[in-house]
Chains A and B, each alone.
Chain A
Amino acid sequence: MKIKKSIVCLLLVTALLLSITACSKGQSGNAGKAKSDLSQQKNTEDNSKSSNSKKPKLKILTWYAPDVDINNDPTYHDVVERTGYDVEYFMLPADNPGEKLNLEVSGGTVYDILKLAPIDYSRLVSQGIYAQLDDVLATHGKNILNSISEESFQTIRKDGKTYGIPQITERPNIDACFAVRQDILDELSLPVPTDLDEFYNMLKTIKQKKPDMIPYTSDNPFNPIILSAFDLYDAWPERNGEITWYGKLPQMKKYLTFMKKLYDEGLLDKDFSMNKSDTILAKFTSGKAAAMPYGWLRAVGTPEALQKNVPEGKISLIFPLKDENGKVGIVPAGFSLNNVSGVMKKSPNIKHAVSFMDAKLDPKNFTFLTLGEEGVTYKVEDGNKYRPIMPEFTKQRGNAYAYLNGFDEKIYPDMWLARIWRDPSLGEAFETLNNKYDQYAVKPALAYMPPLPAEGKYIQSLNAFVQDTFTQFIMGVKPMKEYDDFLNQWENQGGREITKERNEWYQEQAK
């Protein structure tokens, strides 16, 4: 009896174990490759003899794209159809993606394509995770090389070798201005300010005549509109052939003194150090604040929200303020690397991965995959004005941006505007700000600079340090005479290394 029972027990246990492994096979779907996964640790590449065989399924890890059913979107199906490759997308989390990425890489998971933020790309390049693409691009990446400029490629090369396909920001644009209550300006007979004196005057008058309102609310000590009046457009401008941080320029002290004056006289929100971007929006739209930092992105929904609470409320824009010589300037948003797509060294499908990305940039496919069909999802006006046909555009190509691995830099900047115009009020806000692009835009000295090693270490804490200290200067917690002390601290906290590194990169580019 006892022997029988122990046999039954043994059988039950075995059955349980088998069922578990069997279930996991069903779920994961590629359990059959368990052994071959381990053998993929070798550096296997496609041979020409296998290129005639069926195209492999490609695994793509991409950074987080909100609200996208990434393996089911209409764009996804069109991508699969046009390129002929079956692909499966995996997404990193929105929160702290670097942690998950590091875990996967160190755990040995193999993807074919990695589409990552520049900082993650930099880190993985130095770890040797990526395959070198120079040769593969020459044979399988003609469209990629035609679409993406040498300048962009330069930003991601390491030791002269290419490890990824760069995707720069779509189109440099001015996205910052001030919003001010035009109805209050009318009431107090004030002009929309164009220089520092008018701006100060406006705030002062509002404070006097409307003591309950906050003249100007903000959520951080930097404001490009005011900085423009002090010639401090670029945070890292070139002076005498060298890159220097604008905090070291004499104008910065003047800027901080001016901001301190605003704070002391109650013209700047006393709570500015604690405000978040939602808070200042709430203060403005509820009628508590007369002016706030603004942009075209924020322009959506804000006028309506203001109207609900303050029926007579109207918004006017304040553009970058002039300095005493009438000069203005602002560094547009953009001019940077958006993401980089690379191929893992361990991937068995390096050539196929590049072919896949190349096929998407084929002129036959690119417009279709980005904008859809002319006359159905988009239309072209005046030669280069791309406009969406709603709601088809959003249905078919609303999430097309998530499927880009680099874009055609000659035509996409214009095509991207179609996405903005999905909401006409957004399009108008964008245009209002960017009609004067040529008048105001200042290209930054460090345009398209990739993330550099020393930066990764220092930049976040250094930026936090600067923001905190500037806030303290403005609030009067720290007296302005300690500014030189602050500069020394800045140097020691990584400023020196970062400056040196950036200068090296800058000199390299200038050659």
Chain B
Amino acid sequence: MQNRKTKGDRSFITINYILLTLTGFLTLIPILHILAVSLSDSKYVISNTVGILPRGFELEYYKYVLSKHDFYSSYRNTILITVIGTVLSMIVTVLTAYPLSKSWLRGRKFLLLLFVFSMIFYGGIVPSYMLMKMLNLIDTLWSLIIPFLLAQFNMLIIKSYMEGLPESIEESAEIDGAGPTRILFSIVLPMCLPVLASMTLFYAVGYWNNYFHARMFISSPGKRTLQLYLNDLIISATQLQNDMSADEFMNLSPGGVQAATIFAATLPILLFYPYLQKYFVTGITVGSVKG
């Protein structure tokens, strides 16, 4: 039997589509505006007469932004931190979650308590800084990876998911002579792929967006991450300088430079996001349903 939609249903659906499309477009407007500003002639940018479409098309701002050596180095730093950090984090997190998911682990409750406790209480930035200093990690990219290798929340999600897996599969593998490592890599992890994909994403976004700790631990201009670079750029463009920095000042408006930098930095994420979106949505609930 096919579901027949009544007239009411159909008009409801149509109105829904229209409203949601409009709302979607509204959220697009700021991005289109930034894009337009970054492609417009300075004279229009200064007088704030740029709308959603660029006026006086020109690529000067992008040429300027992409000529900055620091732009590329900060991008590279962020990508390095994100990729290496995510890979290492996933390894550490899985190796932590799997044993903790076994109810017969000795000291399990105590270990879990430690993890949850450290999740809630944070020592503060000054002790963290001093710790990094003593480990000689200050002003290195590792200082933005090592302290963040294990996100307890992510670990708990994976642990919950693993607890929900049927024991019988692992038992039969054990009977067949597989050791714990083999079971983990060949049996358990393939079953965990949804949650692993989601946690990978959570970690990646966490590393990509890390601002505060990056700001506090990194001092060399060349080791800045993308977030630091963007922040410095935007703040300094709105400050009055006692002395001019470059003759780019002469022709380009700071607003346009900001717009071009913002767009150049966020474009890759904007392109990735639609494909990864479904993992975000499922990832949040994946660890909660058992069986």
Contacts and interface: CB of A to CB of B under 8 A. Distances in A.
Given A282-B46, A285-B47, A426-B250, A66 B219 contact: no
B246 A399 contact: yes
A398 interface: yes
B141 A27 contact: yes
A71 B245 contact: no
A302 interface: yes
Nearest to B241: A66
Contacts of A67: 68, 236, 245-246, 248
B232 to A, nearest CB: 4
Nearest to B127: A107
A198 interface: no
Contact of B48 (A30, A107, A282): A282
A69 B245 contact: no
> Main secondary structure on chain B at its contact with chain A?
helix
A94 B138 CA distance: 19
Given A28-B136, A66-B233, A90-B219, A309 B47 contact: yes
Interface stretch (A18-26, A152-160, A248-256, A450-458): A18-26
A20 B219 CA distance: 21
Interface string B232-272: 11011101111111111111010100000000000000000
Interface string A74-116: 0000000000000011111111000010011011110000000
Contacts of A282: 46-49
B231 A71 contact: no
B140 A103 contact: no
Interface string A293-335: 0000100111011111100000000000000000000000000
A24 B137 contact: yes
A469 interface: no
Interface string B131-145: 001011111111000
Contacts of A419: 243-244
B142 A27 contact: yes
A109 B231 CA distance: 24
B46, B141, B216, B251 — most chain A CB neighbours (10 Å): B46
Contacts of A88: 220
Given A20-B146, A107-B133, A66 B231 contact: no
B142 A64 contact: no
B47 A286 contact: yes
B126 A103 contact: yes
A30, A72, A278 — most chain B CB neighbours (10 Å): A278
A65 interface: yes
A41 B247 CA distance: 43
A104 B236 contact: no
Nearest to B47: A285
Interface string B27-51: 0000000000000011110111100
Contact of A103 (B44, B135, B139, B216): B216
Contact of B130 (A107, A338, A390, A416): A107
B232 A64 contact: yes
Interface in A102-141: 103-104, 106-109
A70 interface: yes
Interface residues of B, number: 55
Contacts of B242: 169-170, 338
A34 interface: yes
Contacts of A93: 215, 228, 231-232, 235
B41 to A, nearest CB: 8
A350 to B, nearest CB: 21
Given A67-B68, A302-B46, A305-B47, A24 B135 contact: yes
Contacts of B115: none
Nearest to B248: A67
B49 A301 contact: no
Interface in B168-198: 179
Contact of A64 (B42, B68, B236): B236
Contacts of A338: 242
Given A66-B236, A278-B255, A401-B243, A305 B46 contact: yes
Given A286-B49, A301-B46, A104 B135 contact: no
A416 B242 CA distance: 11
Contacts, number: 158
Nearest to A65: B245
Nearest to B240: A297
A420 B221 CA distance: 26
B222 interface: yes
A146 interface: no
Interface string B71-97: 000000000000000000000000000
A309 B49 contact: yes
Contacts of B228: 93
Contacts of A69: 69-70, 221-222
B125 interface: yes
Contact of A398 (B135, B222, B247): B247
A422 interface: yes
A487 interface: no
A223 interface: no
Contact of B43 (A278, A305, A422): A305
A380 interface: no
A48 B133 CA distance: 31
Contacts of A25: 136
Contacts of A5: 179
B129 interface: yes
B136 A95 contact: no
A31 interface: yes
Interface of B: 41-44, 46-49, 56, 68-70, 125-126, 129-130, 133, 135-142, 146, 179, 215-216, 219-222, 228, 231-233, 235-237, 239-251, 253, 255
Given A301-B46, A391-B247, 6 more contacts: A66-B236, A91-B219, A94-B235, A103-B126, A297-B240, A308-B47
25 contacts: A24-B135, A24-B137, A28-B136, A66-B232, A71-B221, A90-B219, A91-B221, A93-B228, A93-B232, A103-B129, A103-B216, A104-B219, A107-B130, A170-B243, A282-B48, A285-B47, A286-B48, A301-B42, A305-B43, A307-B43, A394-B247, A398-B246, A398-B247, A399-B245, A419-B243
